[in-house]
Amino acid sequence: MTDQWNGAGEPEASGHRPAPDAPAAAVGPGLRPSWVSDGVVPVGVVPGQGGQSRVVDGFPRAAWQTEAVTDPAWAYELVIVSFHSRGQLEQMLAELPPDMPVVIIDNAKGADKVHELLANRTNGRYLDSGGGKGFAKAANMGIRSSAYEYVILGNPDSRPTIEIINSLVDDLRTDRSLVTSAATMKGHDGKPELGNGGWEPTPRRVLLHVLGAHKIAPSSALFAKPVPGKSMEPEWLTGACMAVRRQTFLDLGAFDETFYVYSEDMALGRAIREAGLRQKLRTDLMVPHGAGGSGAAKTWMLQMRGASMIRYLRKHNAPAKVNAMRSMLVAGYAGRTVLSRARGREATAQEHAAYIKGLLVGPPKP
């Protein structure tokens, strides 16, 4: 899909803008539900209409899909990728204004009918990715088809407030060098999670990671575990609750779709740095996070995480350096597997073992 839809003018100082003097009917109903399918519509033809279809990332749209239109009361759209996440989405959307622009990209082919959650949301859109497209490709579909200047990436199991979202968007408005601004995810214990972002992998950082150095020096290893309210500048940020300057994101190439899930955020951070631009982690904005908002098995996801890490390392490092970092990661997680089993934590041990499998043999079968 081309990026021909622009935002509705320069936004005001807050995320939710005052409505213009023109009546709402003059603007239209906002973003209506849209369905995108990947196999039933002949390319270039819209059945029953005699017109030409649009194509979203190669997927022909269904016959009656509507085009995105901006609601002038809003400066942004919330983009959520769902995979058997209906329960989490219900809770997330219940805490947000009913007229907030939202697009759900469904990676489960409508299995849990998440489109029903948009029935009473006047600015809701639904995109069926066709299933099995992974996070990076599905998120790109939602962002490319958005009509807004800013988009908010949100995980189904995150619980941001409208005030937090507005603060993140305000960061982008006041600093044109910022491409993204992300809130800090906190776990069920109320403490910041490990993995709110991180740094470019190097042999030194990988070694410090497997030794658990982040517990003493939070900025020393691979993944960021912020201290609330204390400034931290990771080289990449997680997209669990992140405001994005849409056009700049697209100009940088969007998410790298060679990553099915995981490491696409690391690749985006690298692209932002290489362009001389910036991103920001808001350690003063804490968002509850459930750490597991999709229907995929935890071990499947951990194997995918390991495989994505190796893919990223191979893209940006010589083979000898890749082998050295992989060896350290395998040794470190093998030790954690043994320790977890000794403590009777079999589920954790299996997760560590799955990560090792991803490092060694690649991604799991679909």
Q: What is the CATH number of domain 1-203+220-294?
A: 3.90.550.60
pLDDT at 317 over 80: yes
295: confidence class by pLDDT, cuts 50, 70, 90: low
297: confidence class by pLDDT, cuts 50, 70, 90: confident
Please report the pLDDT score of residue 13 as a whole number. 34
Task: Please tell me which residue, 46 or 344, carries the higher pLDDT value.
Answer: 344
pLDDT at 66 over 60: no
pLDDT in tens, 211-223: 999 888 889 999 9
Q: What is the DSSP string of 279-296?
A: EEEEEEEEEEB-S--SSS
**Whole-angstrom distance, CA of residue 121 vs CA of residue 78:** 12
> How does 277-302 read in b/e, with b if 16+ C-beta sit within 10 Å?
bebbbbbebbbebbeebbbeeebbbb
Please report the pLDDT score of residue 55 as a whole number. 45
pLDDT at 271 over 80: yes
248: three-class secondary structure by DSSP:
helix
The H-or-E segment that residue 243 falls in is: strand 241-245
Domains of the chain, by residue range, sit at: 1-203+220-294, 298-361
- Give the contacts of 12 (CB within 8 A, at least 6 positions apart): 18, 75
By C-alpha distance, which of 268, 260, 261 is closest to 236? Answer: 268
Residues 339, 342, 343, 344, Cα dihedral to 10°: 120
Task: Please tell me which residue, 261 or 26, carries the higher pLDDT value.
Answer: 261
pLDDT in tens, 138-195: 999 999 999 999 999 999 999 999 999 999 999 999 999 999 999 999 999 999 999 9
Please report the pLDDT score of residue 67 as a whole number. 56
Please report the pLDDT score of residue 186 as a whole number. 95
Task: Please tell me which residue, 47 or 287, carries the higher pLDDT value.
Answer: 287
Cβ-contact 196, 265 below 8 angstroms:
no
Radius of gyration from C-alpha coordinates of the chain: 21
* Percent of the chain residues topping a pLDDT of 70: 79
The H-or-E segment that residue 70 falls in is: none
**Whole-angstrom distance, CA of residue 73 vs CA of residue 61:** 27
Please report the pLDDT score of residue 3 as a whole number. 28
What mean pLDDT, rounded, does the chain reach? Answer: 83
6: confidence class by pLDDT, cuts 50, 70, 90: very low
Q: How many CB atoms are closer than 10 A to CB 343?
A: 10
77: confidence class by pLDDT, cuts 50, 70, 90: very high
- Give the contacts of 3 (CB within 8 A, at least 6 positions apart): 144, 247, 250
Q: 80-89, 127-136, 170-179 — which is least confidently predicted?
A: 127-136
Q: How many CB atoms are closer than 10 A to CB 73?
A: 19
Over residues 28-48, the mean pLDDT reads 34
Task: Please tell me which residue, 127 or 8, carries the higher pLDDT value.
Answer: 127
pTM of the entire structure? 0.81
Please report the pLDDT score of residue 28 as a whole number. 31
**Encoding tokens for residue 25?**
């009917």
Please report the pLDDT score of residue 11 as a whole number. 33
26: confidence class by pLDDT, cuts 50, 70, 90: very low
Residues 152, 58, 5, 14, Cα dihedral to 10°: 0
Give CA angle at 164 (142, 280), nearest 5°. Answer: 75
Over residues 249-263, the mean pLDDT reads 96
